[in-house]
Amino acid sequence: MDRRHALKGIGLGAIGALGLGKTTPDATAQTYEKATRGLKPLKITKVRAITTSPMSARLVIIKVETSEPGLYGLGCGTYNQRPLTVVTAVNEYLDDFARGRDVDDIEDMWQNAYTSSYWRNGPVLNNALSGLDMALWDIKGKRANMPLYQLLGGRSRFAVDCYSHASGRDFKELEDSVRSKMEQGFRHIRIQLGGYGSSHLSSQPHFKEADFGLASDGHMDSLPYLKATPKMFEHIRSTCGDDIELLHDVHERIRPIEAINLLKELEQYRPFFIEDPLSPEQNGYFKYLRSQTSVPIAMGELFNNPHEWVPLITERLIDFIRVHITQIGGFTPARKLATLAEHFDVRSAWHGPGDLSPVGHAANAHLDMNIHNFGIQESVHFNDAMREVFPGAPTMKNGYMHLPEAPGLGIDINEEAAAKHPFPEHPGYWSPLRRRDGTAVRP
Ligand code: MG
């Protein structure tokens, strides 16, 4: 038997084993109809943005309604620093674009919505696109009656391992914070001495004496931070032991050559990862950083454009990809990014801050549950008001994030409760941070 006939034989055998060997086209259609619970083509009838702020961050949720009464999907388009621009992009442009299109063709929708603005890959339009995209995945999960991670291929782990943030203005305060996180069950803890860049260690903001900038502008000099950070690691390793994983966020803020020197110094403390040692504008420095130190590097929370992450992954210059998935355009591109990263043993550490909505956190967690190259996830902390607005939001237990066993993203929005939490008065921009002489620091 030649190979062609052998394959044909196997194919017929397999069909027979499935009981499909004697099916007629009509019977096959009936089987499909049964298996898909009678799914019929549905159209998008409306796409709209909902704003709410139960915990200070300015959340933007996109709701996609369909031609089936009561069936809708939710997505996250939260861009805390420019939320109303996303609302406009959704209500004035994406709604009209999406109406009447098929809810099931997510890939087609993403590709065409992505290019519908012609210019693309910016944070505002990526967040709007993310809201629409996640909502369509939510709807597909509801139609399949499966949690979203099941649609992706099922679970790779029982829950999502998370890290928590510990901080203190001095070593003792930080140590107490670390111990408290350990008692809560966390095995991965991010340590920061004060705020990002330990700006409280800087003194003499001369620019303020010279009346340069505004009195409210922040001040940070590199040297106090660069001197204190290795000592901070030394203190926590010597007092809290070697069994916990330590993480740290540089948050850009220093020059590339300073970052190279700092990471070399930190290598002896075995950090789990050091985050954002360079700004995205200095991506070209990663190859020099990598050649100087084996400290694991996490990067990407400010990325919007594939050209920012593809070279870092394919040239094996980072260890953790840390994009904010609404900022790259949603679930569809994040899934593809995860697959690319798996081939280069780059693990995920999706950005999961307080200014991501619970819908966005749920999307992170569904990916985390499924992908093989999951690394770590930021833990979530929702107050009662947030949980009232978002029933089904992910929960934490013993350092793990858990999703409800519910179809789609598994999360809903109570719009009446959401309306009780309008945006804060302050528009929400990132305030200037300056060196002693007033030079702007990024960010
Ligand atoms: Mg960060």
pLDDT at 28: 61
Are 31 and 74 part of one and the same domain?
no
Q: Is residue 416 part of a domain?
A: no
- Kindly report the CATH number assigned to the domain that includes residue 50: 3.30.390.10
Query: What's the whole-number mean pLDDT along residues 172-178?
Result: 98
pLDDT at 24: 62
Q: Which of 113, 147, 181 is the last residue of a domain?
A: 147
CA of 252 to the centre of ligand 1 (A): 9
Task: Give the burial class of 325: count Cβ atoms within 10 A of its Cβ; 0-12 exposed, 13-18 middle, 19 or more buried.
Answer: buried
Cα–Cα distance, 293 to 291 (Å, whole number): 6
pLDDT at 17: 41
Average pLDDT, the chain: 93
Q: Which two tokens stand for residue 305?
A: 């454009």
Q: Is residue 23 part of a domain?
A: yes
Going by their DSSP bridges, the two strands 160-168 and 400-402 should be labelled as antiparallel
Q: Is the pLDDT of residue 4 over 60?
A: no
Cβ distance 297 to 289 under 8 Å? yes
Q: Is residue 421 part of a domain?
A: no
Are 331 and 351 part of one and the same domain?
yes
Q: Is residue 413 part of a domain?
A: no
The overall pTM is greater than 0.85: yes
Q: What is the pLDDT of residues 207-234, one digit of tens each?
A: 999 999 999 999 999 999 999 999 999 9
pLDDT at 87: 98
Q: Is residue 287 part of a domain?
A: yes
Query: What's the whole-number mean pLDDT along residues 423-427?
Result: 93
Q: Which of 118, 147, 176 is the last residue of a domain?
A: 147
CA of 251 to the centre of ligand 1 (A): 6
**Residue 247 identity:** L
Secondary structure (3-state) at 70: coil
Are 282 and 296 part of one and the same domain?
yes
Are 254 and 347 part of one and the same domain?
yes
Nearest to 291 by CA among 273, 310, 266, 264: 264
Q: How many domains does the chain have?
A: 3
Q: Which one of the listed residues 188, 251, 361, 421 is annotated catalytic?
A: 251
CA of 193 to the centre of ligand 1 (A): 14
Known catalytic membership, residue 372: no
Nearest to 94 by CA among 68, 75, 113: 113
Cα–Cα distance, 133 to 148 (Å, whole number): 13
Are 376 and 254 part of one and the same domain?
yes
Q: Which of 15-19, 197-201, 389-393 has the lowest mean pLDDT?
A: 15-19
pLDDT at 203: 87
Nearest to 358 by CA among 387, 317, 328: 387
CA of 298 to the centre of ligand 1 (A): 9
Are 101 and 161 part of one and the same domain?
no
Q: Point out which residues pair with 397 in neighbouring strands.
A: 400
pLDDT at 21: 44
CA of 275 to the centre of ligand 1 (A): 6
Query: What's the whole-number mean pLDDT along residues 230-252?
Result: 98
Cβ distance 369 to 403 under 8 Å? yes
Task: Give the burial class of 198: count Cβ atoms within 10 A of its Cβ; 0-12 exposed, 13-18 middle, 19 or more buried.
Answer: buried
Q: What is the pLDDT of residues 324-359, one digit of tens each?
A: 999 999 999 999 999 999 999 999 999 999 999 999
Are 193 and 131 part of one and the same domain?
no
pLDDT at 31: 58
Q: What is the pLDDT of residues 52-71, one digit of tens each?
A: 999 999 999 999 999 999 99
Q: Which two tokens stand for residue 351?
A: 């950005």
Cβ distance 113 to 129 under 8 Å? yes
Q: Is the pLDDT of residue 10 over 90?
A: no
- Using the 8-state DSSP alphabet, how is residue 184 labeled? T
Q: What is the pLDDT of residues 372-388, one digit of tens each?
A: 999 999 999 999 999 99
Query: What's the whole-number mean pLDDT along residues 363-367?
Result: 98
CA of 114 to the centre of ligand 1 (A): 26
Q: Where are the beta strands (DSSP E) in 260-319?
A: 273-275, 297-299
Q: Which of 147, 181, 213 is the last residue of a domain?
A: 147
Are 31 and 123 part of one and the same domain?
no
Query: What's the whole-number mean pLDDT along residues 79-103?
Result: 98
Q: Is the pLDDT of residue 6 over 90?
A: no
CA of 47 to the centre of ligand 1 (A): 31
Are 123 and 22 part of one and the same domain?
no
Q: Determine what percent of the chain is predicted with pLDDT higher than 70.
A: 91
Are 387 and 262 part of one and the same domain?
yes
CA of 170 to the centre of ligand 1 (A): 21
pLDDT at 39: 74
57-60, long-range: CB < 8 A, 24+ apart: 57/354, 57/355, 57/356, 57/357, 58/83, 58/355, 58/423, 58/424, 58/428, 59/83, 59/355, 59/357, 60/86, 60/87, 60/90, 60/127, 60/131, 60/357
Are 375 and 240 part of one and the same domain?
yes
Cβ distance 390 to 416 under 8 Å? no
Q: Which two tokens stand for residue 143?
A: 């139609």
- Kindly report the CATH number assigned to the domain that includes residue 385: 3.20.20.120
CA of 249 to the centre of ligand 1 (A): 6
Query: What's the whole-number mean pLDDT along residues 411-422?
Result: 98
Q: What is the pLDDT of residues 18-39, one digit of tens each?
A: 444 455 666 665 655 555 555 7
pLDDT at 33: 58
Q: Is residue 436 part of a domain?
A: no
CA of 351 to the centre of ligand 1 (A): 7
Are 141 and 185 part of one and the same domain?
no
Task: Give the burial class of 208: count Cβ atoms within 10 A of its Cβ; 0-12 exposed, 13-18 middle, 19 or more buried.
Answer: middle
CA of 322 to the centre of ligand 1 (A): 8
Q: Is the pLDDT of residue 13 over 50?
A: no
Label residue 40 by pLDDT band (50, 70, 90).
Answer: confident
| CA torsion through residues 398, 401, 406, 412, sign | positive
Label residue 443 by pLDDT band (50, 70, 90).
Answer: confident
CA of 361 to the centre of ligand 1 (A): 15
Q: Is residue 77 part of a domain?
A: yes
Known catalytic membership, residue 351: no
Q: Is residue 206 part of a domain?
A: yes
CA of 112 to the centre of ligand 1 (A): 31
Q: Which one of the listed residues 196, 225, 269, 285 is annotated catalytic?
A: 196
Domain housing 26:
11-36
pLDDT at 36: 56
